[in-house]
């Protein structure tokens, strides 16, 4: 019976989405940017971290890829199966969007964001060829209609997936906007800044919104202007401050580690101080666990939105000293990398620089 229902699903699903490739000819700059973005690599076929986590999850044993609602939402066959509690996993050869990940057409058809206690839900515009955007004077064309939407106007179309997700124990696994703190902010102003180039070949414009989606995985340097590093010299110590100018915490995902490295160079000798980590660790009974087993937030030293975090270094500076400060991220903590059997992957375990500042002591 389940198999029979599954065969019918493609006929009764609420929405079908244009493929990413179908957008390429009119929007080449945007398409090329998107290819580098995590929205393009959100599937288990392209993201090794997500794949490793999926393969040790309880859902993997059940063969139900529940992650798909955010990671491959354009795969309508898969999402329809999940809605009916059927057994199904992503198919790299799916014709219903399984390999398009968070696709162009999906995002541009988000009409309403329904807020939920566990997670938010995107409500999709049922007009297949009507896309939302934020251009003031979009050009009429033969390929799709252009429509206005308040979530695109205020830049918060992202919070359907990027707001919060609570597991079965009520622990907020990954949180950006669980208390509506970003409702008055504009996500795209930081993560999709204006860059040179026309959004479409049909009508030339000077700039467009960046569709590489700046973040820790891609073009992190675009976000460096929202973080500043300050230094204050004392008699027998000095202070380094990280100033977070963004509206949300700098460490959101429990797998990651934000780290500050400080070095003092004196007469060609380098003094390295122990790195300072800023983390959000979830687990159970004081121990790190997988997200689906977490019952508590064990530790949260994240630098919150609009917070200035000051660290003290017991070291008497002298004229001519040079202080080098580096702030960046590791995609995986060492313990999580080991639990996912990814500890030997150099690319996934490298330090990703967000901001560097050098201070000359005079």
Q: Is the pLDDT of residue 222 over 80?
A: yes
| Cα separation, 136 vs 55, whole angstroms | 45
pLDDT tens digit string along 121-146? Answer: 999 999 989 999 988 888 889 999 99
Mean pLDDT of 29-49: 95
Q: If you search the block for the tokens 């939402």, which residue do you land on?
A: 73
| Cα separation, 149 vs 284, whole angstroms | 41
Q: Is the pLDDT of residue 5 over 60?
A: no
Q: Is the pLDDT of residue 292 over 50?
A: yes
pLDDT tens digit string along 78-90? Answer: 888 888 888 888 8
pLDDT tens digit string along 109-120? Answer: 999 999 999 999
DSSP state of 174: S
Q: What is the pTM of this model?
A: 0.90
pLDDT tens digit string along 333-352? Answer: 999 999 999 999 999 999 99
Mean pLDDT of 250-266: 96
DSSP state of 206: S
Q: If you search the block for the tokens 């100033």, which residue do you land on?
A: 243
Least confident segment among 48-57, 128-137, 308-317, 319-328: 128-137
Q: Assign residue 320 a region: left if phi > 0, alpha if psi is -120 to 50, beta otherwise? A: left
Which of 124, 116, 122, 255 is CA-nearest to residue 178?
116
> Coil, strand, or helix at residue 113?
strand
pLDDT tens digit string along 178-191? Answer: 677 777 678 999 99
According to DSSP, the residues that pair with 146 across neighbouring strands are 131
Surface-to-core class of residue 243, CB atoms within 10 Å of its CB (0-12 exposed, 13-18 middle, 19+ buried): middle
Q: Is the pLDDT of residue 97 over 80?
A: no
Q: Which residues of 343-358 are buried (b: 16+ CB within 10 A; e: fewer)?
A: eebeebeeeeebbebe
- Give the pLDDT score at 83: 84
Would the CA dihedral through 287, 51, 331, 72 be positive or negative?
Answer: negative
| Cα separation, 166 vs 348, whole angstroms | 26
Q: If you search the block for the tokens 């059940």, which residue do you land on?
A: 62
Q: Provide the Cα torsion 105, 109, 114, 120; round to 10°.
A: 10
| Average pLDDT along the chain | 91
DSSP state of 172: B
> How much of the chain exceeds pLDDT 90, in percent?
76
The Cα diameter of the chain in Å comes to: 79
- Give the pLDDT score at 8: 40
Q: Is the pLDDT of residue 11 over 70?
A: no
Phi, psi of 245 (to 5 degrees): -95, 5
- Give the pLDDT score at 95: 65
Domains in the chain and their CATH numbers?
2-209 (no CATH), 222-360 (2.60.40)
Instruction: Give residue 154's pLDDT band: very low, low, confident or very high (50, 70, 90).
Output: confident
> Coil, strand, or helix at residue 303?
coil
């Amino acid at each position: 019976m389940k198999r029979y229902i599954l065969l019918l699903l493609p006929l009764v699903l609420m929405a079908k989405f244009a493929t990413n490739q179908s957008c390429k000819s009119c929007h080449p700059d945007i398409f090329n940017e998107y290819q580098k973005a995590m929205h393009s690599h959100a599937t288990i076929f392209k993201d090794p971290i997500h794949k490793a986590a999926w393969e040790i999850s309880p859902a993997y044993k059940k063969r139900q890829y529940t992650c798909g609602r955010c990671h491959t939402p354009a795969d309508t066959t898969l999402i329809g199966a999940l809605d009916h509690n059927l057994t199904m996993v992503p198919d790299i050869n799916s014709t219903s969007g399984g390999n398009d990940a968070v696709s162009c057409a999906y995002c541009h058809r988000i009409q309403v964001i329904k807020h939920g206690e566990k997670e938010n839900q995107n409500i999709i515009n049922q007009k297949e060829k009507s896309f939302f955007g934020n251009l003031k004077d979009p050009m009429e064309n033969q390929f799709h209609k252009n429509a206005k939407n308040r979530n695109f106007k205020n830049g918060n179309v992202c919070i359907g997936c990027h707001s919060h997700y609570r597991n079965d124990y009520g622990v907020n696994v990954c949180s950006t906007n669980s208390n509506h703190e970003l409702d008055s902010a504009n996500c795209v102003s930081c993560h999709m800044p204006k860059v040179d180039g026309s959004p479409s070949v049909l009508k030339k414009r000077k700039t467009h919104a960046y569709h590489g989606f700046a973040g820790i995985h891609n073009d992190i340097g675009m976000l460096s202007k929202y973080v500043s590093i300050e230094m204050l010299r004392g008699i027998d110590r000095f202070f380094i401050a990280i100033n977070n100018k963004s509206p949300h915490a700098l460490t959101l995902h429990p797998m990651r580690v934000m780290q500050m490295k400080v070095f003092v160079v004196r007469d060609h000798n380098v003094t390295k101080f122990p790195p300072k980590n800023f983390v959000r660790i979830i687990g159970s009974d004081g121990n790190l666990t997988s997200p689906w087993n977490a019952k508590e937030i064990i530790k949260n030293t994240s630098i919150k939105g609009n917070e200035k975090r000051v660290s003290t270094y017991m070291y008497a500076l002298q004229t001519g000293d040079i202080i080098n400060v580096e702030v960046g991220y590791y995609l995986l903590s060492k313990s999580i990398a080991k639990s996912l059997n990814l500890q030997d992957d150099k690319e996934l375990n490298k330090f990703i620089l967000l901001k560097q500042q050098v201070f000359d002591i005079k």
